[in-house]
Chains A and B, each alone.
Chain A
């Protein structure tokens, strides 16, 4: 089953506005990651936030993590048309192996119009 669930499923904003996407999950995690996917393409890693971190920034991206509520948010500030894509959160569950077993949500489709 999908552990991460993004909200909203779709978001349409104008260029220059901020976009906020939320993700909820169910089990304990090592970290939570956000990825971007342009239509029909592979995923691109945006940011990783570890379970002991609360906030992280990367350029125009700001990610928060609340492990008590099992939720995360991705904020894209001053959006651009080129930000149009689907955004996925992925949780890396706690386990003893050496692989990174990500569970992806269903994604938020972001449309940024001029």
Chain B
């Protein structure tokens, strides 16, 4: 069966510090991968998606970037965090095409 991992679970970082969140998927190959952010009490906003190694599409302009160095690894990064980057970050995967997505447990990021 497929599983998706995210780490860390929680993170407190000062403004201006770098960020690296990692997501890995097991039990499938060539998945579509997604990064979402959820503000408190709100729905999810799609940040990035990837249909293959090195292929990244950005949905909203922001202070973040994403990379996919391996087939089942998706990384969310920032060179300098802003207060507005605080939130709950969720990684997800899906099969190629219009299918449901499977979400990881999320990382709660607090920028102080």
Residues of A within 8 A of B (CB): 2, 4, 30-31, 33, 35, 40-45, 48, 88, 90, 92, 97-107
The 4 nearest A-B residue pairs measured at CB: A104-B43, A42-B103, A30-B98, A45-B100
Interface size class of B (residues with CB under 8 A): 20 to 34
Q: Determine the chain A residues whose CB is within 8 A of the CB of B90 once the complex forms.
A: 42-43
Residues of B contacting A31 in the complex (Cβ-Cβ under 8 angstroms) = 98
Cβ of B83 within 8 Å of any chain A Cβ, yes or no, is no
- Which of chain A's residues have a CB closer than 8 A to the CB of B57? 99
**CA separation between A4 and B99, bound complex, in Å?**
17
B32 with A99: CB separation less than 8 A: yes
How many contacting A-B pairs (Cβ < 8 A)?
Answer: 70
* B63 interfacial by beta-carbon distance below 8 Å: no
Judge whether A45 and B106 touch: CB under 8 Å.
no
A40 to chain B, nearest CB (A): 7
Chain A CB within 8 A of B49 CB: yes
Contact flag A102-B103 (CB < 8 Å), given A4-B43, A42-B90:
no
Q: Which residues on the A side are within 8 Å of B103 (C-beta)?
A: 35, 42-45
Chain A min CB distance to B26 (Å): 15
Q: 1/0 contact trace for B30-52 toward A, CB 8 Å?
A: 00101010000111111001110
